[in-house]
Amino acid sequence: MHTHRYRRVALALKAMMASLGIAATAVLIPMMIPANAPTEGLLVRQKKQDVWVVLEQQQIMSGATIPPDVNVVFHVPFTITKINRETLLGLKGKNVRYWGYCYPENNSPETVDRRTGLKGLLFLSEKERAVRAKLAADEQPKFSLSNLPTRDEVLRAAARPQTVIRHQIEFFKGGQLCYIMTEAPLAIGLDDDGDRLNNRLEKDLGTDELLEDTDADGILDGIEVKYGLDPNQRDSDLDGIIDGIEDADWDGIIDTGETDPRRLDTDRDELCDGLCRKRLSNGQILYVGEDKNLNGVVDSGETSPLLPDTDGDGIFDFQEYLACLTKGKRACK
């Protein structure tokens, strides 16, 4: 499908990047190219073999994997209006360095090639931006009150060329032709069920590509993956309480008044948030917890999973429970 066009795009992108000093390589190194080149400092590889891969629309629609350390051209399928960068590229932006470039929309490669300057828009992963920010900070002269600059140092700093690379694309549109390079494999695909998890990742994780909440806990599959929950299990931390009850607004973020669905014991008082099996030092097995009816509310007779010492008497809730258990009802409050 459109293979001839893709090859022309690949050749055009290849020529554009070659003019900027970018090549496919085997090791990660800082980029050393002229100051006026708009890609200074991006993830690149020392040239060993010039490998190019083309991902066609059908591959992205069904889900594919972007290989690392090679030049990859992909065509965003016309079947969508737009898709978030993180969703399209598999929620890896915070952990993986990648960068890419998209041709202007509705223009042939030949038309784009006749333009001067940067001919399209750049996108950079969060990790790539963080690395670049650190490199830029490290390159700045280190002056302080005890180490004041000389006149020559001030002049040199002012004359130093500044190259700014800005992340420009957060949403991809159907029909865009783009290039990407990554340091690690990326799952690329569309999001047919709108759960913020692309089809490739759904296959890898075993979630339902056509169901936005596979485990029916109230939280979208993509949010669960992004924030470290299990999209195939309603109770990720096995404390007995459904994830969507602990995270009451279903946004993956632990807000005030919410327990953590990733942590068995949010307040760390040795009683799990819900109701759990616990083995004592003497070998006795107990079923104990704070929210015994697993409804997310502190009812009468229950302790708070958000307060290690619910009644504020200086004794942790679990110690009070043990005292009640071993000393009889007179020790219970």
pLDDT of residue 30: 30
pLDDT of residue 164: 61
pLDDT of residue 25: 31
What separation, in Å, do the N-terminal and C-terminal C-alpha atoms of the chain show?
A: 73
Mean pLDDT of 257-272: 96
Mean pLDDT of 303-318: 94
Task: Report d(CA 240, CA 250) in Å as an integer.
Answer: 17
For residue 147, pLDDT over 80 is answered with: no
How many Cα atoms are found within 13 Å in the side-chain-facing hemisphere of 57? 15
pTM, entire model:
0.76
pLDDT of residue 39: 47
Torsional sign, CA 311, 312, 317, 323: negative
* β-bridge pairing 52-55 and 44-47: unpaired
Mean pLDDT of 255-282: 93
Using only C-alpha atoms, what is the Rg of the chain?
27
pLDDT digits (tens, 9 = 90+) for 87-115: 999 999 999 999 998 987 656 666 656 65
pLDDT of residue 28: 28
Q: What percent of the chain has pLDDT over 70?
A: 75
For residue 196, pLDDT over 50 is answered with: yes
Distance set, CA 85 to CA 100, 187, 203, 225 (Å)? 11, 12, 19, 16
Torsional sign, CA 84, 90, 96, 102: negative
- 126 Cβ contact partners less than 8 Å away, ≥ 6 residues apart: 93, 94
Helix (H, G, I), strand (E, B) or coil at 33: coil
Q: Which of 36-45, 73-82, 209-218, 258-267 has the lowest mean pLDDT?
A: 36-45
**Is 66 exposed, middle or buried, given 0-12, 13-18 or 19+ CB atoms closer than 10 A?**
buried
For the record, the structure tokens of 60 come out as 């992205």
How many Cα atoms are found within 13 Å in the side-chain-facing hemisphere of 269? 26
Instruction: Specify which residues 159 forms β-bridges with.
Output: none
Confidence class for position 278, pLDDT limits 50, 70, 90: confident
pLDDT of residue 44: 56
Identify whether the C-beta of residue 258 lies closer than 8 Å to the C-beta of residue 244.
Answer: no
pLDDT of residue 275: 94
- 228 Cβ contact partners less than 8 Å away, ≥ 6 residues apart: 262
